[in-house]
Each structure stands twice: as C-alpha cells, then as structure tokens.
Amino acid sequence: MRITVLSGGVGGARFTRGLLALLRDRLPDGRGGTTAEVTVIANTGDDMWLHGVRVCPDLDTLMYTLGGAVHEEQGWGRRDETSRVSADLAAYDVGWDWFTLGDLDLATHLARTQWLREGRTLSEATALLCRRWGLAEQGVRLLPMADEPVETHVVVADPDAGPGAERTIHFEEWWVRHRAALPALRFVQVGLGSAQAAPGVLDAIASADVVVVPPSNPVVSVSTILAVPGVRAALASTAAPVVGVSPIVGGAPVRGMAAQCLATIGVDATAEAVARFYGRRDDASRAGEDVGVLDAWLVDTVDAEAAEKLAADGWRSAAAATLMTDVPATARIAAEALALVGR
C-alpha cells in the first residue's frame, strides 16, 4: 500500500507518526517496520536563510518527529535542546534573536547547508539527513515539495510609511516574531514561478493508493504545496482517493495560528469552511487554480454537524475523535481517515 501525505510541520508530523504506527500494526514487515510505503511531501515555504544557514522548519519537524528525536511537548525542535550558540550570538546584536536556533537543530542546518553548498539539491540533502534518523527503515520517505526555494512572505500594512503603504516580511518573521498578531493583507509565494515539484513528488501522488491531507495549516502549509506547479493537476488526475483531516476543531485550530491565516484569505475557521476551501475533486464548478483536491473530510466529533452538512452536499465525511493526544490515539485517527475512503 502506498500512502502519500501532504504535510506542514507539527500537525502533519504527528499525524504521520500515528499513521506509521497503524501501518506497522496492519502491514508489518517482520522487522519492526511496515510493508506500506509512505511518502511525505513537506511544505518548504517556511524555509529561510538565517546567518548563512538554510533552515527548513517543516522538513526538520517531520524528520525529528518520525525519527524519534523531537521535543515532544513543544512539537518541534530536538529533545534535550540547548541554546549555547544563540545565547552567545545575542551578544553580537545581529538581529533575528526572536528565532530560536537550538544547538542540536543548528547541527542539522549546518549539515544541510554544507551539502547544498556542495551543489546537492534540497531533496538530496534531505535524504542524507534522514539516513541518521532511520526513516527509510520505517518505510517512510521525506520529500521537499520543491528543490528550488519557494518562500512564503507576508504582506502587512506599514502605517509608518504612510496610509495604505505595505511591506513584506518573511513568513517566519510574521509567525514567530509577531506571533501572527500583525494583520496580514496577503501571502506571497516567492520563487514559485521558477519552481517545479521535486523529484518523486508528482509520481508519489499519481501512483498512490491513498493521498492524505493531515491536520496541517490549510493556508500556509498545504496550500503552498498545492501551489507548486503540477501538484493540483496530479491530485486531480490520481486514481487514489484523497482524504483530509480537519485542523479546525470546534471553531479553532487545535494548535498554531491557522485562524489568522484563514482570516487573511477570507475563510472561516470552521471544519466545514476549510473543507469547502480545499474543495471536492468531483466539483465541476471548480477549475484551474481552484480545482478541488479532496474526496473525503474527517472532522472531530464536536463538529459532527459539519460532517452532516458536507455529506448532504455529496462529500464523504465523518466525525471522530481527532485530538492527537498520543501515538495510539493518532493511529486511530489515521484509521478513521483511511476508512473514510475504504482503505
């Protein structure tokens, strides 16, 4: 069984970890892994150059989470992380001190940057990094959505520069420094024009038995992957069913600041509105950039009404407990999602 996941950071990483636990149980390979093949296509829109090194937040959150190295409570970064370098760096007053640059995490950035500087692609560097964390042995392959930098920038009002003036900041600055509290006018994917899907991405969608959109940020994570040339078309034409899990539970994101992102693009922070934002693949009224990407949508039990409304509209939708409180609970969520598309 081939499963392809379109993932952002923490939510997608935790979901995929639960999915792998489910697959080890259902399709064991006899060596502690699974015979299933899971491909995770990661959002790289949050990536940035910082102090000369390439930081890839979602790829690293996925790698650490699936590799058993993640800081569990925090959801991202390394367990037993320290900040010896960044504490000393602060004394130079170089700026960007709002961005946490852990010592262990920095080792990952330095290794990746060395490989990129040697001419390797981000896909290649990611594969080299993943060797350490044994992802292949678990039956999972981690791919960046694109090898070319496609960075999400945020256009915000700049009242200091005059009425109606705007300025653009990197997504991480908006997200981490301003905690998404600075009203965003719109998101811009810089570099999209010269980007193409990384090797394996389109094929992983085309040849999948099921495609999953985990409870990741629909705007700045999943939509960024969807914006990569060819991805929407691959989703539209794949024989695999596409099932999503709502990141919105009871009118608010389970974690993170997705509500601010949804508000920016004019979508309500409800399980139903996010489903309609993604759109149904068989909805003939949508086309081009707006073509629907989902067949099915799993919502939380508190949003059972949304599932009913969507079902009345022709969706495959159901409600289940979707809080990823631990790995077994998350495996059950993955099972519910797969069941929704008959897998």
Phi and psi torsions of 190, nearest 5°: -80, 130
| Distance separating alpha carbons of residues 173 and 334, to the nearest angstrom | 33
Residues whose CB is less than 8 angstroms from the CB of residue 8 and which lie 6 or more positions away in sequence, other chains included: 42, 43, 58, 214, 216, 217, 220, 221, 222
Q: Does residue 116 interact with a copy of itself by CB under 8 A?
A: yes
Q: Which listed residue (52, 119, 193, 288) binds a copy of itself by CB under 8 A? A: 52
Site string for a copy of itself, 65-104 (x = CB under 8 A): -----------------x-xxx-xx-xxxxxx------xx
According to CB under 8 A, which one of 25, 100, 107, 313 is a site residue for a copy of itself?
A: 107
Q: Does 277 bind a copy of itself (CB under 8 A)?
A: no
Stretch of residues binding a copy of itself (CB under 8 A), selected from 38-46, 111-119, 152-160, 314-322: 111-119
Instruction: Return the number of the residue (71 or 316) whose C-beta is nearest a copy of itself.
Output: 71
* Cβ 10 vs Cβ 61: under 8 Å: yes
> Which run of H or of E encompasses 43?
none
- In the DSSP assignment, the letter for residue 291 is -
Report which residue type is found at 269: A
Phi, psi of 30 (to 5 degrees): 85, -5
**Which residue in this structure is represented by tokens 């790698």?**
63
- When binding is defined by CB under 8 A, the residue of 114, 121, 168, 301 that contacts a copy of itself is 114
Pick between residue 95 and residue 230 the one whose CB is nearest to a copy of itself: 95
Nearer to a copy of itself, 93 or 160 (CB): 93
Beta bridge partners of 66: none
Contact status, residue 145 vs residue 225, Cβ threshold 8 Å: yes
Q: How far is the CB of 147 from a copy of itself (least distance, A)?
A: 17
Return the bridge partners of 211, or none: 4, 242
When binding is defined by CB under 8 A, the residue of 108, 126, 138, 246 that contacts a copy of itself is: 108
| Residue 117 near a copy of itself by CB under 8 A | yes
261 binds a copy of itself (CB under 8 A): no
Residue type for 331, please? Answer: A
133, amino acid identity:
W
Structure tokens at 207: 């040849």
User: 67 or 253: whose CB is closer to a copy of itself?
Assistant: 67
Selected range binding a copy of itself among 16-24, 114-122, 184-192, 301-309, rule: CB under 8 A: 114-122
Chain residues that interact with a copy of itself, rule: CB under 8 A:
49-54, 82, 84-86, 88-89, 91-96, 103-104, 106-108, 110-111, 113-117, 128-129, 131-132
